[in-house]
């Protein structure tokens, strides 16, 4: 938190008391407290005061510089015992005694005091002006009032009136509007307003959400609360980077391509089983949409959402007119040392009623033993998150041993089939940008859910 610089030789008291009830000693106390300056009180006359009394909101206010030790905040409404403990250099003196001493030293420094006082008065008035609008508590005497309006001796040992000792407690402070601001800036603003910050992580998945910005605040902006009240900020932290500073890498593979490659390749390293390098994708029964085009649109949204969360994203392809075999796609993930490879596809069935989201993970052969467990965990996160984001029908996640894109992978990998292009209604939904966006955000949220477990 920012603190006002303090001179080692002199401390400053903004000493004010205003006839205007909106500018109470408590207000000045809060202003001064925020700026790291102590509040006191001055006589109600003098040229500066008279000048301010002409038509300005703050009728009179005076500032004194009190030479002495660096200021230490006194406990508010304290007992005499606690006052003694907290008087710093003053040792066992009460506030009033100490005031008497510093008052004497003040006179010796009068020329300096007047010059600096005028400058400080201007600064204090600016702050007070900004912060006192609408404040309605009535003017009340302060401890320092007693020190100035009575002789130090006569007020010695007098118990200060509680609630008027420069404390911000009891003040009517307006909660600032910090939604959308970065958490760092929001914390600074709320602290500067004399309130206390508490943060909490949003329950909402991070996909599509501005990272490290305040999503919600409680109480809302404009609500009036007491000084020191807690303002809770809800935000989505940047999860793309681990505590150790490592940035997560996710490879996104939009399934298929404009033209299939029916040339064969082993379905795993050294395998005798051979499969098409890139099989033709499926096509929507209602819309005629191509799986490769649809998957790419969703994959690009996944990239956008993951990047917003601070993840490094590697795309296997960003265009439809490419030729990259499934084994090569897996190698892209391996070379990137991906924390997860996400393969985006669509389903097709002879059953026109079948619909919903299905997620596959590598399983059932020696090639994928090392990645099966984390891949299965990731698959469950993706299935859950996409169903949550879309309301689509949920299916059990399924282990697959026959997919080249899995069998060549040395890093965790999943394949999500976002919907059935054989289902007319689901096909129609998948053809809309809105639904693709929901799916993309759902996939990214699932990825983030998985990365958080690492
Ligand atoms: Zn496919």
Instruction: State the distance from the centre of ligand 1 to the C-alpha of 351, rounded, in angstroms.
Output: 17
Instruction: State the distance from the centre of ligand 1 to the C-alpha of 293, rounded, in angstroms.
Output: 11
331 with 374, same domain: the answer is: yes
83 with 151, same domain: the answer is: no
272 with 219, same domain: the answer is: no
Instruction: State the distance from the centre of ligand 1 to the C-alpha of 295, rounded, in angstroms.
Output: 8
Q: What is the pLDDT of residue 112?
A: 62
Instruction: State the distance from the centre of ligand 1 to the C-alpha of 283, rounded, in angstroms.
Output: 10
Residue 133 inside a domain? The answer is no
d(CA 33, CA 71): 11
Q: Where do the DSSP E strands lie in 52-203?
A: 61-67, 173-174, 196-201
Residue 393 inside a domain? The answer is yes
431 with 347, same domain: the answer is: yes
Of the candidates 125, 29, 123, the residue with the CA atom closest to the CA atom of residue 73: 29
d(CA 202, CA 89): 47
Instruction: State the distance from the centre of ligand 1 to the C-alpha of 257, rounded, in angstroms.
Output: 10
Instruction: State the distance from the centre of ligand 1 to the C-alpha of 452, rounded, in angstroms.
Output: 28
Instruction: State the distance from the centre of ligand 1 to the C-alpha of 371, rounded, in angstroms.
Output: 21
285 with 196, same domain: the answer is: no
Q: What is the pLDDT of residue 381?
A: 97
Residue 122 inside a domain? The answer is no
254 with 230, same domain: the answer is: no
Q: What digits encode the pLDDT tens for the residues 45-103? A: 444 434 333 333 333 343 443 444 444 433 333 334 333 333 333 334 444 444 444 45
Of the candidates 280, 318, 298, 290, the residue with the CA atom closest to the CA atom of residue 392: 298
Task: Single out the residue in 235, 263, 295 at which a domain terminates.
Answer: 235
215 with 331, same domain: the answer is: no
332 with 418, same domain: the answer is: yes
**Which residue in the block uniquely carries the two structure tokens 């096509």?**
283
Q: What is the 3-state secondary structure (H, E, C) of 1-64?
A: CCCCCCCCCEEEEEEECCCCCCCCHHHHHHHHHHCCCEEECCCCCCHHHHHHHCCCCCCCEEEE
What tokens appear for 186 in the block? Answer: 């929001």
Residue 7 inside a domain? The answer is no
430 with 286, same domain: the answer is: yes
Instruction: State the distance from the centre of ligand 1 to the C-alpha of 158, rounded, in angstroms.
Output: 85
Domain count, the chain: 3
d(CA 369, CA 411): 11
Strands 224-225 and 173-174 turn out to be antiparallel
What tokens appear for 172 in the block? Answer: 């009517």
Instruction: State the distance from the centre of ligand 1 to the C-alpha of 128, rounded, in angstroms.
Output: 66
89 with 54, same domain: the answer is: yes
Instruction: State the distance from the centre of ligand 1 to the C-alpha of 326, rounded, in angstroms.
Output: 11
Instruction: State the distance from the centre of ligand 1 to the C-alpha of 319, rounded, in angstroms.
Output: 16
Instruction: State the distance from the centre of ligand 1 to the C-alpha of 280, rounded, in angstroms.
Output: 8
Instruction: State the distance from the centre of ligand 1 to the C-alpha of 329, rounded, in angstroms.
Output: 14
Residue 166 inside a domain? The answer is yes
154 with 95, same domain: the answer is: no
**CATH number, domain with residue 174:** 3.30.10.20
Q: What is the pLDDT of residue 308?
A: 86
What tokens appear for 266 in the block? Answer: 């082993």
**CATH number, domain with residue 428:** 3.40.630.40
Q: Which residues of the chain have pLDDT under 70?
A: 1-171, 203-211, 237-244
Of the candidates 157, 171, 135, the residue with the CA atom closest to the CA atom of residue 33: 171
294 with 215, same domain: the answer is: no
Residue 126 inside a domain? The answer is no
Structure letter (DSSP) for residue 89: G
Q: CA of 121: how far to CAs of 16, 60, 111, 214, 347, in Å?
A: 10, 10, 15, 36, 73
Question: Degrees (nearest 5) of the Cα angle 139, 100, 156?
Answer: 70
Q: CA of 107: how far to CAs of 13, 41, 64, 184, 405, in Å?
A: 15, 16, 10, 44, 86
Domain that holds residue 163: 144-235
Instruction: State the distance from the centre of ligand 1 to the C-alpha of 357, rounded, in angstroms.
Output: 13
Residue 69 inside a domain? The answer is yes
Whether pTM exceeds 0.85:
no
Angle between helices 369-390 and 433-451 (to 10 degrees): 140
d(CA 386, CA 370): 26
Residue 204 inside a domain? The answer is yes
> How many CA atoms are closer than 13 Å to the CA of 442, on its beta-carbon side?
26
What tokens appear for 71 in the block? Answer: 């200021």
Q: What is the 3-state secondary structure (H, E, C) of 212-271?
A: CEEEEEECCCCCEECCCCEEEEEECCCCCECCCCCECEEEEEECCCCCCEEEEEECCCCC
Instruction: State the distance from the centre of ligand 1 to the C-alpha of 320, rounded, in angstroms.
Output: 14
């Amino acid at each position: 938190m920012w603190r006002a610089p303090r001179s080692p030789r002199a401390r400053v008291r903004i000493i004010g008391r205003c006839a205007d009830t909106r500018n109470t000693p408590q207000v000045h106390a809060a202003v001064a407290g925020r700026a790291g300056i102590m509040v006191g009180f001055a006589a109600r006359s003098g040229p500066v005061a008279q000048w301010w009394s002409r038509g300005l909101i703050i009728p009179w206010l005076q500032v004194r510089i009190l030479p002495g030790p660096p200021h230490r905040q006194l406990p508010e409404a304290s007992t005499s015992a606690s006052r003694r403990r907290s008087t710093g250099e003053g040792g066992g003196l009460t506030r009033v005694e100490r005031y008497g001493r510093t008052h004497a030293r003040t006179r010796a420094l009068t020329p300096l005091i007047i010059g600096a006082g005028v400058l400080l008065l201007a600064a204090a008035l600016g702050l007070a002006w900004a912060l006192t609008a609408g404040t309605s508590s009535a003017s009340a005497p302060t401890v320092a009032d007693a020190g100035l309006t009575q002789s130090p001796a006569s007020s010695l040992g007098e118990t200060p009136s509680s609630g008027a000792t420069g404390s911000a407690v009891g003040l009517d402070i307006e909660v600032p509007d910090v939604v959308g601001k970065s958490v760092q800036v929001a914390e600074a603003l709320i602290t500067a307003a004399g309130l206390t910050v508490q943060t909490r992580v949003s329950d909402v998945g991070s996909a599509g959400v501005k990272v490290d910005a305040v999503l919600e605040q409680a109480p809302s902006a404009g609500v009036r609360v007491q000084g020191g009240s807690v303002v809770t900020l809800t935000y989505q932290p940047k999860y793309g980077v681990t505590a150790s500073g490592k940035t997560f890498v996710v490879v996104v593979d939009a399934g298929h391509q404009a033209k299939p490659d029916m040339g064969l390749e082993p379905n795993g390293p050294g395998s005798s089983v051979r499969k098409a390098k890139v099989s033709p994708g499926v096509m929507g029964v209602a819309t005629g949409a191509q799986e490769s085009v649809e998957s790419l649109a969703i994959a690009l949204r996944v990239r956008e959402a993951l990047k917003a969360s601070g993840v490094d994203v590697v795309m296997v392809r960003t265009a439809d007119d490419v030729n990259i075999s499934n084994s090569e796609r897996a190698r892209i993930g391996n070379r990137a040392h991906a924390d997860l490879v996400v393969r985006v596809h669509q389903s097709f069935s002879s059953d026109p009623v079948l619909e919903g989201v299905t997620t596959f993970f590598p399983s059932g052969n020696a090639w994928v033993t090392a990645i099966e467990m984390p891949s299965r965990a990731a698959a469950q996160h993706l299935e859950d998150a996409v169903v949550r984001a879309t309301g689509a029908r949920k299916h059990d996640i399924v282990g697959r041993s026959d997919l080249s894109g899995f069998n060549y992978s040395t890093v965790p990998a999943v394949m999500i089939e976002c919907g059935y292009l054989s289902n007319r209604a689901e096909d129609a939904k998948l053809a809309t940008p809105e639904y693709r966006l929901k799916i993309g955000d759902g996939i990214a949220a699932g990825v983030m859910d998985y990365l958080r477990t690492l």
